[in-house]
């Protein structure tokens, strides 16, 4: 009896040891970032070199990211907000000031992307990628000149349009079509925007912020208002896809890596930031997701074809503007778009 119990005890210990050995005990980095934006090769390369496991979760809008971050359901080490959301998080004291001594590769960043209005003292952000919101047209199926938002939202294009599923973006297009700045969000300007959206939204077939290029590639739609990186991939796929920056003006976004103030692994976050700023690593990001790369050293590694892609590196456009934090007015944007969509779908 005693021998039997001893044998069972030994077997139990062996099982426990076996189970514990299966557990991944490596240090961890919790990355919360946009979908279709972080190459798996970059994550794998960082993990292999550093021994740090990366848990990568994705979101489809800045607002979705903020809601998850504010809920406290999970603590993240790195998030990837756009410029206006960075500004908002700084005002909330929600970000950890960076130790740039731990990010020596920050020297590779183009000065144009430093000390931007959303981080004027350059205390919190490492630029990831920049880009614009523009119009893609399948020229084999759409005849006539499409130069701006007003040209897209014509009755003849009903059921042929994909747009970003982003309330702030949609309201900015309507504002620009009215000759108003994209950051001029007040109850009065939203009242003017409402009838524009009521006319436009029923013409749209698909709302997609994650991968709007898919519907254009498979022929479900012929016109898209999309992120420039998505447009660049379409241009690479087939020259029939033409990209234009809207004549009315458009949004220039700057997405950055930031560390939440309550991040459990800030050292790992700094390591990742420095790693992705290596020219050869940053070049991998451009290869998979061809937005405008703020890393000048990485840009030198791009091919002439990559640098000449009209969506990745559009020629000068005087009417591009970054979004600013608009505080409580953001709630008005969400409400207007929600109400208009409910009334038209």
* Inter-residue contact 327 to 311 (CB < 8 Å): no
My answer on whether 187 and 326 are in the same domain is: yes
Residues 224 and 340 grouped into a single domain: yes
Give the number of domains in the chain.
2
Per the rule left: phi > 0, alpha: psi between -120 and 50, beta: everything else, 36 is left
pLDDT at 60: 87
In this prediction, residue 6 carries a pLDDT of 45
In a domain, 5, yes or no: no
- Residue 6 located in a structural domain: no
Domain that holds residue 211: 131-252+318-344
∠ CA(214), CA(218), CA(222), 5° rounding?
85
10 part of a folded domain: no
CB 177 within 8 A of CB 248: yes
pLDDT digits (tens, 9 = 90+) for 178-220: 999 999 999 999 999 999 999 999 999 999 999 999 999 999 9
CATH, residue 32: 3.40.190.10
* H/E run at residue 163: strand 161-163
Distance between CA atoms of residues 149 and 226, nearest Å: 12
Regarding whether 338 and 221 lie in a shared domain, the answer is yes
CB of 124 closer than 8 Å to CB of 110:
no
Q: What's the alpha-carbon Rg for the chain, to the nearest Å?
A: 23
Phi-psi category of residue 73: left, alpha or beta, with phi > 0 → left and psi -120 to 50 → alpha: alpha
Residue ranges in the chain modelled with pLDDT below 50: 1-21
């Amino acid at each position: 009896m005693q021998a039997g119990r001893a044998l069972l005890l030994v077997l139990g210990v062996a099982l426990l040891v076996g189970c514990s050995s299966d557990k991944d005990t490596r240090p961890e980095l919790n990355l919360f970032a946009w979908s279709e934006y972080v190459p798996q090769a970059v994550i794998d390369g960082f993990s292999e070199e550093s021994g740090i496991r990366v848990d990568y979760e994705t979101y489809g809008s800045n607002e979705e990211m903020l809601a998850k971050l504010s809920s406290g359901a999970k603590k993240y080490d790195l998030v990837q907000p756009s410029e206006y959301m960075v500004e908002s998080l700084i005002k909330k004291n929600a970000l950890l000031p960076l130790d740039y001594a731990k990010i020596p590769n920050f020297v590779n960043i183009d000065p144009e992307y430093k000390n931007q209005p959303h981080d004027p003292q350059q205390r919190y952000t490492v630029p990831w990628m920049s880009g614009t919101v523009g119009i893609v047209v399948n020229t084999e199926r759409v005849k006539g000149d499409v130069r701006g938002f007003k040209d897209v939202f014509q009755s003849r294009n009903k059921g042929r349009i994909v747009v970003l599923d982003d309330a702030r973006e949609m309201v900015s297009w309507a504002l620009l079509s009215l000759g108003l700045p994209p950051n001029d969000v007040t109850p009065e300007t939203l009242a003017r925007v409402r009838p524009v959206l009521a006319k436009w939204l029923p013409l749209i077939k698909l709302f997609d912020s994650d991968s709007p290029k898919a519907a254009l590639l498979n022929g479900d739609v012929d016109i898209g208002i999309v992120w420039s990186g998505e447009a660049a991939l379409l241009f690479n796929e087939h020259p029939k896809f033409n990209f234009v920056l809207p004549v009315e003006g458009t949004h220039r976004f700057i997405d950055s890596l930031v560390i939440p103030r309550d991040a459990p692994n800030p050292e790992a976050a700094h390591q990742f930031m420095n790693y992705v700023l290596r020219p050869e690593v940053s070049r991998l990001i451009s290869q998979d997701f061809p937005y405008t790369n703020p890393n000048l050293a990485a840009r030198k590694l791009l091919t002439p074809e990559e640098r000449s892609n009209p969506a990745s590196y559009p020629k000068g456009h005087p009417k591009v503007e970054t979004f600013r934090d608009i505080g409580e007015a953001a709630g008005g944007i969400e409400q207007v778009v929600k109400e208009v969509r409910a009334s038209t779908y």
